[in-house]
Amino acid sequence: MNTNKTIPPNGKSLKQKLIIRNMFVMLMVFIAVLVFYALQNYGAYKRQIDTTTTRFRRDLDVTSRLLISDKQKALRTYAEDNSWTTLREILIENVRGRFESEDGESLLTEQQSLIMAAYFRNDRQTVAWVTPETPDGVPTGLPLEKLKDIEETTSWALSVTGITQREVLLGDNHHVIQVATPIYASSSSLGVDIDENVEPLTDPGVDAHVGSLVYGFSTAQMERDLAEAKATYQNDLLFNLSILLLVSLIALVIGFLATRRQAATITSPLAQLTEAADTIASGDYNVRVDLNSGDEIEILASSFNKMTADLKRSYDALADLNKTLEEKVQQRTKELVASERKFRTLFEESADAILLGDENELFDCNPAMLRLLGCDDKNVLLAMSPDDLSPRFQPEGGSSAELIRDKYKKVLEDGSQLFEWTCKRLDNSEFPSEIVVTGFELDDRPVLHKVYRDITERKKTEEMLRKAQQRLLETAHSSGMAEIATGVLHNIGNILNSVNISTEEMGLTLKNSKVVGFLKANEMIRNHQGDLGAFFTAHPKGKLIPGYYLSLGEAISEEQKTLTDEVTALTTKINMMRDVISTQQNYAKAGLYTENVSVIDLIEDSLKLNLASLQKKGVKVVKNYTSDPKGSVAKVKLVHVLTNLIKNAKEAMQDNDSKNKEQILEIIMRKVENNEVVVAIKDNGIGISDEHKDKIFNHGFTTKPTGHGFGLHTCANFMTEMGGTLDVSSEGLGLGAEFEIRFPLDERGPEFQSPPPKAALPRQN
């Protein structure tokens, strides 16, 4: 059997693909192991660096604090005696002992830790500056950059109040950790030469800040340790990676040999199946594959043999079927002719106007289409362009040619479209129509099947219905706004009663004011200006005046507090009336536009319209807002609904006081799926019986003696216009009720008609 046929032209054999894929998987595994090992070693390196840094800084911190604490006490005596030369020599010995051997030979290297020492008087004079560049402690002859370092260190050292540490860069890339501490000495022992130009800071005998001590420690040891740790890590990592890479290469070679052998075992039976398939493709069905591999390939070979037998039987059956195929084709042709005759009859006799064509040409039409367009000759109509059947522009303003082509494009994409269209008859008269367009392929070209219906009468009926609905809405709105206006006037009346009470209280306080007695006492003092001493000590009334003034201050203070409280209350009531009137003005005119608003703000406006009566009745308002939705909604209609529902809930609880029952009005607002908002107005009032639940939204239905039955009916209509719902639930009489409104909130901010400007309410002073 020739196995060369198993290799596809310009491709790879299955054996090659298996080898490549297995080697790729093994290579990825080895790469992952190398990356993981490198990351693990990098973590160990970081921990080693952190440990070295922490150890160095901890040792340095302990050493520096012990050294500077010891020197702080020792140098105080020399500072008190003004022994600056001795102090400088001590600091020189501290530093020089670190970088000189016993025979005086300089040992100054990067390995030294204590690298500098300095002492600055509080007048900013440098007593000592000991560094490798200035071993004698006198910073004379240093370059400008070094002197800048001394100046900056002086400012920092004299500003510290305790042992303080910092890290700076001194010299050429030399990091130094400086530790500073203030030196205090007794003021009584200080000489005048400490600072002759500065006044003493403290009294004699009190410790004073006379200077600051600074030690500097080099970080060279830490940097060397870090460099050694990094070099060790790199060498270890390179060695371990080399060993791991060598092991990986050996494993890849072994894997390649094993994969090649396994691939040969799998592909050899498949090559036999491929050659057998080529034999069947050439038309020879007398072929059989015998394999005894004991696995799925043997099952495949058995299925292949069964398929070959089935193909042979099918081939024989097709040969018999071909003999009768011509007779069936003739029968089908007769049926198609009959079907075409039936379609033509339905097409010609249809009462709907039908037109066939494409975007640029008309193919056929039925008599109903000719009657619709006022045409007597089909050839005249078919000679016209599709654009000739429409006016130049549609009523909405767009070009008919552009709009109809957009419609046809959607038809070819979606399969069909239903839309309204203004058409033109042959006499140029226009009429509204409803068109159903279906697109399909016929003879390898797109065809549009269009059905026209004249909807002139329907449009007239819809316009009449729209006007009737508009009149009904205006009537309902006028009734509802009149009811809200009545409630607003009632609220204003309640607030005015409180204003009158505050005004009367202020008048009574002013009438009984202690200022009258105060003026009389002042008059008596004015009459005795020449003998005030004798008047206050000997005169009977004069001796009472001081005590009277003391008590008068408290009385006037009490009057002022009373007047202030009443003025505050009066201002609050006036602002409340202004807010109620302003809110009423904002919603005084109904509109069909929508606005981008916050639902919580609309609820607060509705509460404000009922605020005075709610406070007067002692209603407790509980707000339960689980979200703060914002979006576009019919603002005026929604506030109208919320105001009516809050007013109804308040009136439903008016008998709670007689039953010693608290009046609780709960407002629940939450957001649900699909940008819908749910607001519930819940009360614990008289409740609603089951027989009234189904009738409560009917026009004219009311259970109030003075009600007219418009409020809830109007609210339900408004919610329907907004695409929402209004529902009520109650567990029965005496158990309260809950009115729930659900409406969509467009959060995408669509374009909407701008509302008219709000009328400005005059500010009251």
Residue pLDDT, tens place only, 556-566: 777 777 777 77
Q: Are residues 737 and 590 in the same domain?
A: yes
Q: Which of 568, 596, 624 is the last residue of a domain?
A: 568
Residue 478 has pLDDT above 70, yes or no: no
pLDDT single digits (tens) 172-197: 666 788 899 998 877 555 544 433 43
Q: How wide is the angle at C-alpha 518 spanned by C-alphas 515 and 522, nearest 5°? A: 140
Say what the pLDDT of residue 738 is.
Answer: 92
Does residue 405 form part of some domain? Answer: yes
Question: Which pLDDT band holds residue 355 (cuts at 50, 70, 90)?
Answer: confident
Q: CB under 8 Å to 310, separation ≥6 — which residues?
A: none
Domain-ending residue, one of 209, 226, 243: 226
Angle between helices 296-349 and 220-281 (to 10 degrees): 70
Name the average pLDDT for the chain: 76
**Quick one: average pLDDT of 411-415?**
80
Residues 602 and 700 in one domain: yes
Distance, in Å, from the CA atom of 252 to the CA atom of 33, rounded to the nearest integer, reads 14
Q: Is residue 437 part of a domain?
A: yes
Please report whether residue 653 resides in a domain. Answer: yes
Percentage of the residues of the chain whose pLDDT score is greater than 90 = 5
Task: Supply the range of the domain harboring residue 377.
Answer: 350-454
545, part of any domain? yes
- 691 vs 743: which has the higher pLDDT: 743
What would the mean pLDDT of 756-760 be, rounded to a whole number?
36
106: helix, strand or coil: strand
pTM higher than 0.85, yes or no? no
- State the total domains in the chain: 4
- CATH number, domain containing residue 724: 3.30.565.10
Burial readout 100-122 (b: 16 or more C-beta within 10 A, e: otherwise):
eeeeeeeeeeeebbbbbbbbbbb
Model pLDDT, residue 107: 43
Q: Are residues 590 and 732 in the same domain?
A: yes
Instruction: Tell me the pLDDT tens digit for each residue of 577-607.
Output: 666 665 555 555 444 467 788 889 888 888 8
Position 375 in a domain: yes
pLDDT surpassing 60 at residue 751: no
Contact 49, 226 (CB under 8 A): yes
- Domain assignment present for 659: yes
Q: In the structure, what pLDDT confidence band is assigned to residue 763 with cuts at 50, 70 and 90?
A: very low
Beta carbons of 178 and 215 less than 8 angstroms apart: yes
Cα dihedral sign for 14, 19, 22, 27? negative
How do residues 182-235 score in pLDDT, each as one tens digit? 988 775 555 444 334 334 434 445 578 888 999 888 887 777 777 887 788 778
- Residues 474, 442: one domain? no
Nearest alpha-carbon partner for 587 in 576, 574, 601: 601
Rounded Cα distance between 711 and 701, Å, is 10
- What is the token pair recorded at 678? 């749910």
Q: Mapping DSSP to helix (H, G, I), strand (E, B) and coil, where does residue 700 land? A: coil
Backbone torsions φ then ψ of 11, nearest 5 degrees: -145, -170
pLDDT for the residue 5: 47
Tell me if 259 is assigned to some domain.
no
pLDDT in tens, 711-737: 788 888 888 888 889 999 888 888 899
* CATH number, residue 358: 3.30.450.20
DSSP-H helix ranges across 100-205: 144-159
DSSP state of 5: G
Instruction: Give the up-direction half-sphere exposure of residue 43: CA atoms within 13 A in the CB hemisphere.
Output: 5
537 and 607, same structural domain? Answer: no
Averaged pLDDT for residues 148-172: 85
| pLDDT given at position 302 | 77
Last residue of a domain, one of 226, 259, 289: 226
Residue 233 lies in a domain: no
Q: Tens of pLDDT along 37-54? A: 778 777 777 787 788 778
pLDDT at residue 498 in the model: 65
Position 678 scores a pLDDT of 92
Looking at the fold, whether 113 and 216 belong to one and the same domain comes out as: yes
606 with 700, same domain? yes
Instruction: Give the E-state strand segments of 603-753 in sequence order.
Output: 620-625, 630-633, 664-671, 676-683, 725-729, 737-744
| Statement to judge: residues 646 and 716 lie in one domain | yes
Please indicate, yes or no, whether residues 673 and 590 belong to a single structural domain of this protein: yes
CA–CA separation, 31 and 111 (whole Å): 42
Sign of CA dihedral 692, 697, 699, 703: positive
Q: What is the pLDDT of residues 70-129, one digit of tens each?
A: 777 778 778 777 888 888 888 888 887 554 444 544 444 434 578 889 999 988 888 899
One-letter amino acid at 352 equals D
Same domain, 547 and 641: no
Shared domain check, 87 and 155: yes
- pLDDT: which is higher, 561 or 618: 618
DSSP for 24-80 reads HHHHHHHHHHHHHHHHHHHHHHHHHHHHHHHHHHHHHHHHHHHHHHHHHHHHHHHHH
What are the tens digits of pLDDT across the range 627-655?
A: 888 888 888 888 888 988 998 888 889 88
Under the banding of pLDDT at 50, 70 and 90, the label for residue 493 is low
Q: Report the range of poorest mean pLDDT among 331-335, 444-448, 704-708.
A: 704-708
What end-to-end distance do the CA atoms of the chain give, in Å?
A: 111
Q: What is the pLDDT of residue 92?
A: 87
Q: Are residues 383 and 495 in the same domain?
A: no
Residue 617: pLDDT over 50: yes
Q: Which has the higher per-residue pLDDT, 476 or 692?
A: 692
| Structure confidence by residue, pLDDT tens digits, 238-252 | 888 788 888 888 888
